[in-house]
């Protein structure tokens, strides 16, 4: 069993498991942190960005003025942002049989895998994962296509040139694998390969293994996966949460008795308490509005935004924010808010019960009805005529490199009354803000990450007790910025097996058993023999028939009667000769009784020598050795076949024939 690791990002994993003749991809996360190296894409012409000076090396030998721009002391690539794809050279991706998706954040690289590698398999995901994943992909495609850039920067990717660039461009990894965003046509083609599954539904893969999704408690429809054969079990834990939020709670008990547990997607903010961050978010928002400023919240169009709106719903009246408008701007804003209300069976129990009252499970439905929350596809059209300040705007993209958020950064960045509140943990907020410096608006960092922290995962692993744990190498050492915090890493016995991008791990257990079925008529012909009380054994002569990884014992076919013929048949036409099986022997040869039997048959000069495995009997007059061991008896007798036959028959008297 092998594990191929195609992504170096611990919360956006992409691994391939080879298990019992099947090749299974576990998630295909897209590392979007690469976009931080690019200039923002403004929705309207930005004089500031258009006047940025091009970059030339200090000695003047490298001139990349058209590709790289100097902005606020850092160098950025001036072209359409590109994404860091999973590794595609480590193994032939066309051999992948199935792709298992754990949540909608971990499927953003799907079109790159299914449309450009010769993939012909099936993708399995839950319905909310598919539908919300489609919205997130559609949103990114829309953001990119609204602001097309003609030029494509490639010269800076040359290894010799990249070495000369200032950081962080100099340290960017695998830049030649970075790709522009896919098209909507590729998204639709990729998602047409998805087959929907429900929690605990068992899916057979070629008769070899069975896969089943379990609720992971992180987001709508998010899953952990069980991959098992009759005798082996692998658990894949990715993006899980034990906190009480809107999704169904995590199913922990089904992870027990795993031979291998592959662990990814732990919290990126182990020191930030989500409840504390929500409180800080609300108080900073209220302070800014009371001072007459605007609040900008860069966010994804699904996920944490549902919890933020629910928190604000309870907070608005107590903080006297009843008249403040809340705007949610995204090409998929309407669909996202509606989907969250219709996936009732994927929600936690409290929200499920509201559906049967009937009430909307999320309070943002009431905020929309009372006009406190308004949603728009973009800043153009209705929004520009209805927009009033001070206000709170939720919009994307959290990287601040594309989407409507770029316009608000340019619009509000120069006033210290305004505040930007970061809630998504995927991007360094300092790197996100870098191309907008100098910035007058206040910045608040309240990362809300509900995924498992190290304390929770250690407790979970003690309860489910897998034999082996495999995880990203980042989890086996403290963070670089807090090297003294040994509590921010996994300490297990035996130690976990770490992986990094491009590693290939041989997982530490071998298949020992295989299930074989026996046909009723063959079972009926067996004659069991009792070898000790309660234990009976029967010998079987059969033909093994294997199809679709299922093995069946069938009766040995009798050769058909051969009609007499004068023609000589070719050797290959003759039926195979079926040998009559020799009887199997069981039992042990008792030393004293065997010596007495030898004496009766005239063999008296016997020297007995004790060994680690049994005894050696030296028949001195006959110059013969008999080795009596637990699992066999050997008679060493040169050129005296009658004596050897006699001794063999004497040994057989003490053994049981099966």
Give tens-digit pLDDT for 640-649. 888 888 888 8
Taking the C-alpha atoms of residue 236 and residue 265, their distance in angstroms, rounded to an integer, is 10
At residue 570, does pLDDT exceed 80?
Answer: no
How distant is the alpha carbon of residue 350 from its chain centre?
29
Q: Name the one residue in this structure whose structure tokens are 């003690």.
A: 462
Classify 585-657 by CATH class: alpha beta
Q: What is the 3-state secondary structure (H, E, C) of 219-236?
A: CCCCEEEEEECCCCEEEE
- Whether 441 and 415 have beta carbons less than 8 Å apart is answered as yes
CA 429 to chain centre: 27
Give residues with Cβ within 8 angstroms of 368, minimum separation 6. 337, 374, 375
Residue 616 phi/psi, 5° resolution?
A: -115, 125
* Residue 174 reports pLDDT greater than 60: yes
Please, what sign has the CA dihedral across residues 459, 462, 463, 468?
A: positive
Percent of the chain residues past pLDDT 70, beyond the cut: 97
Does 578 have pLDDT greater than 70? Answer: no
Q: Tens digit of pLDDT for each residue in 399-443?
A: 999 999 999 999 999 999 999 999 999 999 999 999 999 999 999
pLDDT at residue 575 in the model: 54
- What is residue 184's predicted lDDT score, i.e. its pLDDT? 96
- Please state the separation of Cα 134 from the chain's center in Å: 19
Sheet containing 54-56: give its strands across: 54-56, 63-71, 74-77
Smallest Cα–Cα separation from 370: which of 302, 313, 332, 296? 313
State the average pLDDT over residues 628-633. 84
What dihedral do alpha carbons 65, 70, 71, 75 form, nearest 10°? 110
| pLDDT score of 200 | 95
- In this structure, of 92-101, 262-271, 586-595, the range with the lowest mean pLDDT score is 586-595
Side-chain-side CA neighbours of 33 within 13 Å: the count stands at 21
CATH code of the domain made up of 274-445: 3.40.50.10890
More confident residue, 145 or 579: 145
Per DSSP, the three-state class of 532 is: strand
Cα–Cα distance for residue pair 205/23, rounded to 1 Å: 10
Query: By mean pLDDT, which of 115-124, 198-207, 270-279, 507-516 is the weakest?
Result: 507-516
Locus of tokens 């949603």: 375
Check whether 475 has a pLDDT greater than 70: yes
Q: What percent of the chain has pLDDT over 90?
A: 54
What per-residue confidence (pLDDT) applies to 439? 94
CATH architecture of 2-267+451-506: 4-Layer Sandwich (3.60)
Measuring CA to CA, how many Å separate 119 from each of 16, 96, 158, 332, 524? 13, 7, 30, 29, 46
What is the model's pTM?
0.85
pLDDT tier at 577, thresholds 50, 70, 90: low
DSSP strands (E only) in 538-593: 542-547, 550-555, 585-586
DSSP character at residue 332: T
pLDDT band at 102 (very low <50, low <70, confident <90, very high): very high
Average predicted confidence (pLDDT) for the chain: 89
Bridge partners, 610 (sequence order): 615
Per-residue pLDDT at 253 exceeds 90? yes
Read off the pLDDT band of 565 (50, 70, 90): low
pLDDT of residue 643: 86
The DSSP symbol for 568 reads: P
pLDDT at res. 569: 54
Question: What are the distances in angstroms from CA 122 to CA 29, 38, 189, 226?
Answer: 17, 34, 12, 17
3-state secondary structure of 366: helix
Mean pLDDT of 346-357: 84
What pLDDT, on the 0 to 100 scale, is given for residue 564? 64
126 has a pLDDT exceeding 60: yes
> How far apart are alpha carbons 432 and 281 in whole angstroms?
19
The pLDDT value recorded for residue 549 is: 80
pLDDT(567) > 60: no
pLDDT at residue number 149: 81
For 549, phi then psi, to 5°, come to 65, 20
| Mean pLDDT calculated for residue range 572-597 | 74
Q: What are the domain boundaries of the chain?
A: 2-267+451-506, 274-445, 585-657
| Cβ burial, residue 535 (10 Å; 0-12/13-18/19+) | exposed
Check pLDDT > 90 for residue 182: yes
């Amino acid at each position: 069993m092998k594990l191929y690791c195609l992504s170096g990002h611990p919360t956006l994993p992409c691994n391939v498991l080879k298990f019992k003749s099947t090749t299974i991809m576990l998630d295909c996360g897209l590392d979007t942190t690469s976009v931080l190296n690019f200039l923002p894409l403004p929705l309207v012409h930005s004089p500031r960005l258009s006047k940025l000076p091009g970059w030339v090396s200090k000695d003047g030998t490298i001139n990349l003025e058209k590709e790289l721009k100097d902005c606020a002391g850092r160098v950025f690539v001036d072209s359409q942002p590109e994404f860091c794809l999973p590794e595609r050279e480590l193994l032939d991706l066309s051999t992948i049989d199935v792709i298992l998706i754990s949540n909608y954040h971990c499927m953003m690289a799907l079109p790159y895998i299914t449309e450009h590698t010769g993939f012909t398999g099936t993708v399995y995901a839950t319905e909310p994962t598919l539908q919300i994943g489609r919205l997130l992909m559609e949103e990114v495609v829309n953001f990119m296509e609204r602001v097309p850039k003609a030029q494509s920067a490639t010269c800076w990717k040359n290894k010799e040139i990249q070495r000369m660039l200032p950081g962080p461009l100099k340290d960017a990894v695998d830049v030649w694998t970075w790709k522009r965003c896919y098209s909507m046509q590729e998204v639709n083609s990729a998602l047409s390969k998805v087959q929907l599954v429900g929690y605990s539904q068992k899916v057979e893969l070629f008769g070899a293994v069975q896969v089943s999704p379990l609720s992971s408690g992180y987001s709508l429809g998010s899953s952990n996966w069980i991959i098992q054969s009759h005798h082996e079990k692998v658990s894949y834990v990715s993006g899980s949460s034990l906190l009480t939020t809107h999704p169904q709670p995590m199913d922990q008990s089904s992870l027990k008795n795993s031979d291998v547990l592959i662990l990814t997607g732990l919290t990126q903010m182990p020191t930030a308490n989500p409840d504390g961050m929500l409180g800080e978010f609300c108080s900073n928002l209220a302070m800014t509005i009371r001072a007459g400023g605007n609040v900008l919240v860069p966010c994804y169009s699904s996920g944490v935004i549902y919890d933020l709106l629910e928190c604000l719903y309870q907070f608005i009246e107590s903080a006297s924010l009843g008249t403040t408008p809340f705007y949610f701007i995204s090409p998929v804003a309407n669909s996202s808010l509606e989907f969250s209300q219709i996936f009732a069976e994927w929600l936690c129990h409290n929200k499920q019960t509201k559906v049967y009252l009937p009430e909307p499970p999320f309070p943002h439905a009431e905020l929309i009805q009372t006009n406190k929350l308004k949603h728009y596809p973009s800043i153009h059209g209705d929004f520009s005529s209805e927009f009033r300040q001070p206000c709170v705007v939720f919009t994307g993209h959290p990287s601040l490199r594309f989407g409507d958020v770029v316009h608000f950064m340019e619009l509000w960045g120069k006033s210290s009354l305004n505040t930007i509140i970061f809630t998504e943990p995927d991007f360094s907020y300092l790197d996100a803000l870098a191309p907008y410096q100098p910035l007058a608006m206040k910045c608040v960092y309240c990362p809300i990450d509900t995924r498992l922290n190290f304390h929770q995962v250690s407790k979970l692993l003690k309860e489910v007790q897998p034999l082996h744990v495999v995880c990203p190498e980042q989890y086996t050492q403290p963070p670089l910025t807090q090297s003294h915090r040994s509590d921010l890493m996994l300490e297990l016995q035996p130690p976990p097996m770490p992986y990094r991008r491009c590693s290939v791990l041989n997982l530490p257990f071998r298949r020992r058993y295989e299930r074989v079925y026996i046909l009723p008529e063959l079972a009926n012909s067996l004659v069991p023999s009792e070898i000790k009380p309660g234990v009976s054994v029967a010998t079987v002569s059969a033909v093994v028939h294997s199809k679709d990884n299922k093995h069946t014992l069938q009766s040995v076919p009798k050769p058909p009667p051969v009609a007499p013929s004068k023609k000589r048949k070719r050797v290959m036409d003759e039926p195979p000769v079926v040998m009559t099986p020799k009887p199997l022997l069981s039992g042990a040869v008792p030393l004293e009784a065997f010596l007495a039997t030898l004496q009766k048959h005239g063999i008296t000069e016997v020297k007995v020598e004790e060994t680690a495995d049994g005894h050696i009997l030296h028949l001195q007059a006959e110059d013969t050795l008999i080795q009596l061991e637990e699992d066999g008896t050997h008679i060493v007798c040169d050129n005296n076949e009658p004596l050897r036959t006699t001794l063999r028959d004497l040994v057989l008297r003490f053994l049981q024939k099966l």
